[in-house]
Amino acid sequence: MSPSETTRPDLARLRALTFQYRGAIWTLLFVLILLLAKPSVCRAWTGGVLVVLGQLLRIWGAGCIRLYRGEKVKAVQLTTWGPYSIVRNPLYVANGIMGLGWALMAGWAAVVVFLAAFVGVYVLLIVPHEELFLKARFGAQYDAYCKKVKAFIPRLPSLQELSGPWSFDVIGTSEIHTMISTVIATVLILSRLYW
């Protein structure tokens, strides 16, 4: 769905609720992956690399924006530099990379479950909800950005597009929660090698 399309009220409510409870949904998805986990050492290494890459992308993306935590969509400016010049949703792409890493560590059944859940939750519900807000807030500026940068498909930006403000403070105040959760989640999946 494009940001300019109107949404049925029931679908709009579902998208808003999914956005509001995205952290809880992410936690439930992780618990399901943990329950399905039958890790091997080889998959643990491969999945671990994806988890690290995903977390690094989240750190880069989170440092470029000021507001991203909360139950409602908010934005004080349209961020188009850094990872946002590559894809419009680098934090969700990063979540996808990390989740795929955990699922790969857990086994192929977990990979299938994760991919289906990621498409359903992020691609069909959360991102369209955010896009409607950004379209209403930034109008033509957001339309131009959408024409240039895809939601999930990466593009090769110029060096100038990659540069822009980045704040370590955001990492220390907001992203630290995700970093700690990522370490704990990874250790829990790896612990399944032994039980």
Give the pLDDT score at 6. Answer: 56
Residue with tokens 């369209």: 128
Domains of the chain, with CATH numbers?
9-192 (1.20.120)
11 has a pLDDT exceeding 90: yes
pLDDT in tens, 46-83: 999 999 999 999 999 999 987 666 667 778 889 999 99
Written as six digits, the tokens of 119 are: 């498409």
* Burial grade of 114 (CB within 10 A; 0-12, 13-18, 19 or more): buried
pLDDT in tens, 80-122: 999 999 999 999 999 999 999 999 999 999 999 999 999 999 9
Helix H or strand E encompassing 6: none
- Identity of the amino acid at 124: L
Which has the closest alpha carbon to 26: 99, 94, 93, 97?
A: 99
The pTM for the full model equals: 0.91
pLDDT in tens, 175-185: 898 999 999 99
Residue 61 sits at the vertex; the CA angle it makes with 147 and 48, to the nearest 5 degrees, is 115
CA-CA distances (angstroms) from residue 161 to 24, 28, 68, 134, 147?
34, 36, 21, 20, 15
pLDDT in tens, 120-143: 999 999 999 999 999 999 999 999
